[in-house]
């Protein structure tokens, strides 16, 4: 579990997103889970996915949806990265200079191991996605986040209106009273 609890604003800034987006950016979870993430061989993938799933369950016990979702993303990333290394020797999917997708490599040493590692992660990833606690916490988190976002938009709108009103109040200068100015001018003329 995070060494320091996240603030409400930090929690609400987390996005479930599509696939594994954000997996390497949201702290402190990234630093807690990343050391367990390995996929070089099937035996390493089996231990890695088991360790990450154990973190997933610990986050479930702590009622920490974000930790659960980050664990799910690491499991998914284990599956996709191992698959990339199975399809492209060296793991490079795109040409450095052109950015075009490279042709998939076939029949190279280590390919079958990477495919097996990918399947190991896929199995555990599927189990995590279907976990009852995960599904319930995901629904609750999304509802809470939707309400938070709505309240933040409302507060921002109210603040913007207040700022506009302040600017308008500063820009309005009092109009000089014409009657008194004429009298002062007339008095000055009589004195001379």
Q: Which has the minimum average pLDDT: 29-38, 114-123, 175-184?
A: 175-184
How many residues make up the chain in this entry?
Answer: 192
Other Cβ atoms less than 10 A from the Cβ of 121: the count is 26
Full domain range(s) for residue 52: 8-154
Please report the pLDDT score of residue 192 as a whole number.
55
pTM score = 0.77
pLDDT tens for 55-107 read 999 999 999 999 999 999 999 999 999 998 888 877 777 878 888 887 777 77
% of the chain with per-residue pLDDT over 90:
59
Q: Is residue 3 part of a domain?
A: no
* Segment (H or E) for 115: helix 111-130
Cβ within 8 Å of residue 29, ≥6 positions away: 2, 66, 67, 70
Give the closest residue to 36 by CA, choosing from 71, 81, 6: 71
Q: How many CB atoms lie within 10 A of CB 147?
A: 11
Q: Looking at the structure, do residues 57 and 128 belong to the same domain, yes or no?
A: yes
Asked if the structure places residue 2 within a domain, the reply is: no
As a whole number of Å, the CA-based R_g of the chain is 30
Are 77 and 17 within one domain? yes
């Amino acid at each position: 579990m995070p060494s320091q609890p996240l603030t409400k604003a930090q929690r609400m800034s987390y996005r479930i997103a599509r696939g594994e987006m954000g997996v390497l950016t949201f702290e402190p979870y990234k630093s807690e889970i990343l050391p367990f993430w390995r996929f070089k061989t099937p035996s390493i993938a089996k231990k890695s996915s088991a360790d990450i799933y154990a973190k997933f369950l610990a986050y479930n016990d702590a009622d920490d949806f974000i930790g659960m979702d980050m664990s799910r993303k690491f499991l998914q990333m284990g599956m996709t990265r191992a698959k990339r290394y199975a399809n492209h020797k060296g793991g490079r999917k795109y040409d450095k200079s052109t950015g075009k997708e490279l042709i998939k490599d076939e029949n190279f040493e280590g390919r079958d191991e990477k495919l097996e590692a990918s399947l190991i992660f896929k199995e555990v990833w599927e189990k995590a996605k279907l976990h009852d606690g995960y599904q319930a916490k995901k629904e609750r988190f999304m509802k809470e986040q939707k309400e938070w976002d709505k309240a933040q938009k409302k507060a921002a709108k109210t603040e913007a209106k207040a700022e506009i009103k302040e600017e308008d109040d500063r820009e309005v200068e009092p109009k000089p009273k014409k009657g008194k100015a004429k009298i002062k001018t007339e008095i000055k003329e009589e004195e001379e």
